[in-house]
Amino acid sequence: MSDVSLGNKVGQKVLEAYQKLGSSCKPSTRSNGANEWTVLASIVAIDRSSNDFRLISLGTGVKALPDAFLHRSNGKMVHDCHAEILALRAFNAVILHQIAFLNSNPDSEADLVERSHQSQEFSFKSKWELAIYISTLPCGDASMDLLCDDQGIVEMQENDPIQYVDPMVVSIVRGRFNYSKKKVVRTKPGRVDSQITLSKSCSDKLCQRQVISILNCMTWNLLSKPVYLKYFITSNTTEYLHQSFYDRIRSLPNVPLEFLRCSHKFEHDKHSNEEEPCSISSVKLYLFPDSTIEQALLNGLRNGFYTKGTKPLRSNCESVVSRYSQWNLFKTIRPELSNYSYLQFKETVRDRNKLIQNCRQHLSPKGWISTSRDDCL
């Protein structure tokens, strides 16, 4: 199969899956008549020998929580609800669910993960190649060239401190400030007057996945080796992706993404500046061929469960892709780690932490600005 038809085939599968999402997960028309737009992303496994395409996860969304919201999260609020990050979170949750199933059903098999020869370890089946589909270019460095006529753009002098979260860290720029500056880490874009999020742009996060892999600290612990994406498929242009994704990590060991186009358009793309970004995000997990979980999210929680201000969060408010949900599933597989908190455990995953540190050093030589701690038991 040629690269063009592979890109189209994956894109078509993802767009068909999107059409089956419930309407509560999708953009709508606001009471003032404005149409909403969103971004769609998905992780798809491809077995090229049998021409098999297996959707693993799907995400929609364009929102991230302000850092100030995180103090009451305790692992339950999903900080970054951009589509591609939700799709990656959901990918890890699917892997955890398959391992939990294999762990408690010793005679059964799963389609993505298998038991490894070494005891207590699992492998992602080697027949699968992985693609990420994204309906448009990821926010941040890889998409800055496309933004010239967009809203929320602020050009400024190179020495203007307002563009930085911390003026001492000039290799991290706020959102779309000083948009012509290239190859810098950016925080998630937002309205200029909105509360700041310290979450990094999807370009920065996806770029790092070429070094760190797409596993989180829990699936990293359970699988015998890291899992990388092979293809990056988008309905937008791929011409800006190379310099942003390759140049910034060139000197680190990495598995470079191959960029493919998909000619099918996503129906809820942004078409004009009169349209509004959709407040709702969503995730869908394709756990097993006959079993899925679909959730709409608002403010990082399951839609309908958000409480305002300083009130405690409601029970069952957390999404299946939240840190809290994944950590509790992980502890059923590794009960010997029950005395650890999530962050205590994460500190022990030293080989992965070293890759993260190296990557951050390359992307932002002047230092790193982390989001607030968000731990859970």
Positions that interact with Zn ion (CB under 5 A) = 82, 139, 202
For residue 199, give the nearest of 108, 93, 77 by alpha carbon. Answer: 77
| Local structure of residue 353 (DSSP, 8 states) | H
Cα separation, 369 vs 365, in Å, equals 12
Pairing of strands 129-134, 231-234: parallel
- Closest distance between Zn ion and the C-beta of residue 139, in Å? 3
- The label of the residue with tokens 């059964």 reads 108
Taking phi first (over 0 means left), then psi (-120 to 50 degrees means alpha), and beta for anything else, what does residue 260 get? beta
DSSP 278-300: -S-EEEEEEEETTEEEEEEEETT
Q: Which two tokens stand for residue 259?
A: 């960029």
For residue 174, give the nearest of 191, 188, 193 by alpha carbon. Answer: 188
Judged by CB, which is closer to Zn ion: 205, or 360?
205
Task: Give the Å distances, CA to CA, from 5 to 45, 48, 54, 95, 132.
Answer: 16, 12, 16, 28, 15
Cα separation, 188 vs 173, in Å, equals 10
Q: Specify burial of residue 370 (Cβ count, 10 A radius: 0-12, 13-18, 19+).
A: exposed
Judged by CB, which is closer to Zn ion: 6, or 139?
139
Size (the chain), residues? 377
Q: How many CA atoms lie within 13 A of 8 on its CB side?
A: 7
For residue 345, give the nearest of 353, 336, 337 by alpha carbon. Answer: 337
Judged by CB, which is closer to Zn ion: 82, or 352?
82
- Closest distance between Zn ion and the C-beta of residue 138, in Å? 5
Judged by CB, which is closer to Zn ion: 139, or 321?
139
Task: Give the Å distances, CA to CA, from 129 to 98, 203, 324.
Answer: 18, 21, 29
- The label of the residue with tokens 């408010």 reads 317
Judged by CB, which is closer to Zn ion: 95, or 139?
139
Cα separation, 330 vs 270, in Å, equals 37
What are the catalytic residues? 84
> Do the beta carbons of residue 34 and residue 275 sit within 8 Å?
yes
